[in-house]
């Protein structure tokens, strides 16, 4: 899986959230966080198209872009990268750090418990 840069990731997030969008839309969203010129965003999205991170519909004058990678897939890739980079490959340590850190909903916590049960059963 191709690794997006920091900025490319922001764009992917916007596309995942908003669905198929024009450069203008994406640029507006980007500007909610930080000022970025229109052509900057355009160029980025063109490069992302080349890299295969997004695909676009060129049938209209205003091209419509959409993410070409699934959020789930990229999450997996990046988690595993972080796991190796700073947790010596330990999934458990990473999970602990995440839970200790931010917030998780009751439902997510239950899911995690269920997953753990399953992992422990598989291990037997």
Partner DNA sequence: TTGCATCTACGAATTTATTCGTATATAATC
Partner DNA sequence: GATTATATACGAATAAATTCGTAGATGCAA
- The residues that touch DNA, with contacts defined as CB under 7 A, are 5-8, 22-24, 35-40, 42-44, 46-47, 58, 61-63
Q: How far is the CB of 54 from DNA (least distance, A)?
A: 12
Token duo for residue 92 = 């458990």
**Residue in 96, 91, 58, 55 with CA at minimum distance from that of residue 76:** 91
80 binds a second copy (CB under 8 A): yes
Identify which of residues 9 and 95 has a Cβ nearer to DNA in the complex. Answer: 9
Q: Which is nearer to a second copy, 24 or 98 (CB)?
A: 98
Per CB under 8 A, the segment of 6-14, 25-33, 35-43, 53-61 that binds a second copy is 6-14
Separation between Cα atoms, residue 105 and residue 74, nearest integer Å:
22
Residue ranges binding a second copy (CB under 8 A): 6, 9, 13, 71, 74-76, 78-80, 82-83, 85-109, 111-113, 115-116, 119-120, 123
């Amino acid at each position: 899986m191709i690794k997006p840069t920091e900025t490319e990731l922001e764009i992917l997030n916007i596309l995942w959230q908003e669905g198929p969008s024009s450069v203008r839309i994406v640029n507006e969203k980007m500007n909610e966080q930080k000022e970025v010129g229109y052509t900057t965003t355009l160029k980025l999205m063109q490069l992302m198209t080349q890299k295969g991170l997004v695909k676009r519909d060129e049938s209209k004058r205003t091209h419509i872009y959409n993410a070409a990678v699934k959020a789930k897939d990229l999450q997996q890739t990046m988690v595993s990268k972080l796991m190796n980079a700073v947790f010596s490959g330990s999934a458990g340590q990473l999970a602990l750090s995440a839970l200790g850190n931010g917030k998780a909903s009751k439902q997510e916590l239950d899911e995690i418990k269920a997953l753990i049960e399953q992992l422990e059963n598989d291990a037997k």
